[in-house]
A and B are shown apart, each in its own frame.
Chain A
Amino acid sequence: MYKIAVLGDWDSIFGFATLGLDTFPISDPEEGARVLKELAESDYGIIYITEALAAKLDTHIQKYADRQLPAIILIPGASGNTGAGIAAVKRSVEKAVGSDIIFNN
C-alpha cells in the first residue's frame, strides 16, 4: 500500500490534510530536498509539490523522472499559478517529439 504526500508552503497545502493526504509544510528549499528524498525512498506513490517549491528543487525532482515511482506532480500554490506544471508537460512533449506540437497555439 502506498501513500500520497503533499509538499509546499503551509498556506497552499493545509487543505489537502482533510482528504487524508500527508502534508509536509516546507519553508526552506534545503529542508524540502531532504524531505523529498526521504519520501521518495519510502512508500509514497504520488508526491504533489507546489510549483514555487518545485522550481527550487528542480535537480532533485529530475532524479526521479525516470523511475516508475514516485510520481512527482506539480500543483499550483496559494500564491497563484506560475505555469510550471504545464511547462513540464510541454517539456516531455519536446523530449518525445522533438518539437512542441501540442501547445503551440
Chain B
Amino acid sequence: MAQANVNPTRMELTKQKKKLNTARKGHKLLKDKRDELMRQFLDLVRENKALREEVEEGIKKANQNFVLAGSVMSKEAVSVAFMAPKQEVSLDVSERNVMSVDIPVFDAKMRTSDANDIYSYGFAFTSSDLDDAVFSLSQLLPKMLKLAESEKSCQLMAAEIEKTRRRVNALEHVIIPRAQENIKYISMKLDENERSSQVRLMKVKDMMLEEAHHYKDRQ
C-alpha cells in the first residue's frame, strides 16, 4: 500500500507506534465528543422545532389581525399609528460553551415592562383589530427570542458535529489503518533484514572454519 514513503528503520517504527497511540487516543476523545454533541443537539433541535411551530402559528394569527386592521384603516393611518413606537428592545448577548461550541444566549430588555403600555397610538382613530394584533405580537416576542437562540445554537452545533464527525472518520478509516500498515511493514522488513544477516553470518562462519581446518580435504 502506502509503504513506499516510510523508511524501514527502528526509529521510524517507534515514531509510527507513537503516532498510532496518539491517533487512538484522539479518536476515542473525538468520538465521545461527537456522541455528547449529538445528544445535546437532538434535545435542542426538538425544542427548536416546537418553538418554531408555535412562533409560526402566532405570527400567522397576528398577521390575520393586521390584515383585518388594514382593511378598516388606510395604510397611511396604520403607518402613522406605528410611527413612534413606545416600546424599545435592547438585546444583551452572552455566550454559553457547550462542548467547545460557543452558543449565544439572548437576554432582551424592554423599556416598558407593562404589557398594556405598548400601544403607540391613541385609541380614537384606530381599529380594535390593531390592538389585538399588537397584543398578540407582543405576547409572541419572548418566544421569538428563544427561537432565535435555539435556532442559532442548532446551526452552530450542526456545523461542529459535522466537523467532528469528519475528524473521527478520518482517524478511524485513514490515519489509524495507515499507521498499522506501516508498523506491520517496518517490523516485517526489520525481521527480514535480521534473518538475512543471520544467514550471512552463518555462511561466513562456515567459510572461516573451512579455511582454518580444511574439513573437506580430510574426508
Mark A residues whose CB is within 8 Å of B: 1-4, 11-12, 14-21, 45-46, 48, 65-66, 68-69, 71, 73, 75-78, 80-81, 85-86, 88-89, 92-93, 95-97, 102-103
Contact = CB atoms under 8 A, between A and B. Distances in A.
A73 B151 contact: yes
Given A18-B120, A19-B138, A89 B154 contact: yes
Interface residues of B, number: 61
B79 interface: yes
Interface stretch (B58-66, B181-189, B202-210): B58-66
Interface string B21-50: 000000000000000001001100110110
A45 B85 contact: no
Contacts of B60: 76, 80-81
A4 B45 contact: no
Q: In this complex, which of B63, B111, B145, B161 has the most chain A Cβ atoms within 10 angstroms of its Cβ?
A: B63
Contacts of A11: 66, 70
Contacts of B162: 95-96
A15 B131 CA distance: 11
B175 interface: no
A18 B156 CA distance: 31
Given A73-B147, A85-B52, A88-B151, 13 more contacts: A11-B70, A18-B87, A19-B87, A19-B138, A20-B85, A20-B86, A21-B89, A46-B91, A65-B159, A76-B63, A77-B63, A96-B38, A97-B42
Contacts of A65: 155, 159
Top 6 A-B residue pairs of the complex, sorted by shortest distance between their CB atoms: A71-B152, A20-B87, A92-B158, A96-B158, A2-B91, A20-B88
B78 A45 contact: no
Given A3-B90, A71-B152, A89 B102 contact: no
A78 B133 CA distance: 13
B156 A96 contact: no
A18 B66 contact: no
A14 B118 CA distance: 15
A102 B46 contact: yes
Nearest to B149: A71
A20 B46 contact: no
Contacts of A86: 49, 52-53, 56
A52 B108 CA distance: 27
Interface in B121-174: 133-134, 137-138, 141, 144-145, 147-149, 151-152, 154-159, 161-162
B157 to A, nearest CB: 7
A18 B82 contact: yes
Nearest to A21: B89
B66 A15 contact: yes
